[in-house]
Amino acid sequence: MHPEIVCGWSAHPALDKACHYFDVKLVKTDLVQETQEIDVAAVRRALTPNTVCVYATAGTFTHGAVDPIEELGRLCEERGVGLHVDNCLGGFYLSFLQKAGLFTRPFDFQVPGVTIISIDVHKYGFACKGVSVVAFRDNALRRATYHPVADGPTLYVTTTLQGSRSGSLIAAAWGTLMLFGENGYASAFARLRALFEKTRKAVSLITGIKVCGRPEILSLAIESDGTFDIYAVSTLMDRRGWNLFTSQRPACVTVCLGQQHESCIDRLLLDLSACVAEAKSNPGRKIEGEAAVYGAAKMLPSEIIGDVMKSYCDLRLSVKPAT
């Protein structure tokens, strides 16, 4: 048996990397175009006797989508496979939206089929990077991740894949949690929710662009109405000092909202409107920077783009000769 993991096309690239390292076959399924969420029917078709896990996200970085965890949970229970929920970006935010009654779809261990959840405290937990959490439904499942070594000069076992971890980062994260407290997080997320709704409404009023999918978390993907290349907007916004994340299938740019946007969102929206107007009036404008790579990706096989990306890494890691 060669193990397989089934995921949606929107799964985090770290999953590709993990499957490459551990020689696990990764099966990617299409998304529901209207929502950019996993198509449960497509996942069902992709399951085989070799499937060990289904990977879902709540929510995705690119589109802010929350996959249908309840339906996937029922499917995974029925087929006897695990269900991992990547809750890294949405964890803190969605939990507080749920408490406030603003998000009602269960996405965590409330769903019987969910077996593992990952959460990043350094995202909307506002802590330093390096304290991500993997939570297991039961101790038996978690225990399978331990690998004790008892036949060497020392007895050795750790609770994580990476081995030892920095205690200072964990202490700093704990301090952040205590500083904010439940009321602090609730207040921060109420403001961010209002900021998100304001931004979504403003985008819907700009002629030529629209919100992509059904975003539930603070990532707002924006696509063109088809009359111009949305990557041109990314180029123009970059010139004005804004960094919009670019992605493909469909081509879109993403604003990932955070506390830093509270003081500058009006300026960002004004610049976005101006850049869209400029892109529409100059459809042949040259696309530059990161967006140009995505433009090239539309015309080249993924293997060639992959080789280019490897060469980029080689270049970054090359040592400059002494002068």
216-260 tens-digit pLDDT: 999 999 999 988 889 999 999 999 999 898 888 889 999 999 999
The arithmetic mean of pLDDT across residues 132-152, rounded, is 92
* Per-residue tokens: 219: 């990532």
Asked if residue 150 has pLDDT above 60, the reply is yes
User: Cα dist. 145→34, 116, 142, 159, 225 in Å?
Assistant: 38, 12, 6, 7, 47
Best CA proximity match to 189, nearest among 97, 257, 59, 65: 97
Strands 4-8 and 25-29: parallel
CA distance 286 to 293: 12
CA distance 138 to 136: 5
The arithmetic mean of pLDDT across residues 298-314, rounded, is 73
In this predicted structure, what is the pLDDT of residue 284?
Answer: 72
Q: 83-125: per-residue pLDDT in tens?
A: 999 999 998 999 999 999 999 999 999 999 999 999 999 999 9
> Looking at per-residue confidence, does 308 or 185 come out higher?
185
Domains in the chain with CATH codes = 4-120+131-165 (3.40.640.10), 194-303 (3.90.1150.10)
Collapse the DSSP code of 65 into the 3-class scheme (helix H, G, I; strand E, B; otherwise coil) and give the result. Answer: coil
Spatial CB neighbours of 202, under 8 Å, sequence gap ≥ 6? 269
In this predicted structure, what is the pLDDT of residue 298?
Answer: 59
CA distance 16 to 59: 18
Tell me what the pLDDT averaged over the chain comes to: 91
In the block, which residue shows the tokens 């996942």? 43
CA distance 159 to 136: 13
Q: 53-69: per-residue pLDDT in tens?
A: 999 999 999 999 999 99
The arithmetic mean of pLDDT across residues 10-35, rounded, is 95
Q: 248-293: per-residue pLDDT in tens?
A: 888 999 999 999 999 999 999 999 999 999 999 887 766 666 655 5
* Per-residue tokens: 221: 């993907």
In this predicted structure, what is the pLDDT of residue 291?
Answer: 56
In this predicted structure, what is the pLDDT of residue 310?
Answer: 81
Collapse the DSSP code of 251 into the 3-class scheme (helix H, G, I; strand E, B; otherwise coil) and give the result. Answer: coil
Q: What is the DSSP letter of 322?
A: P
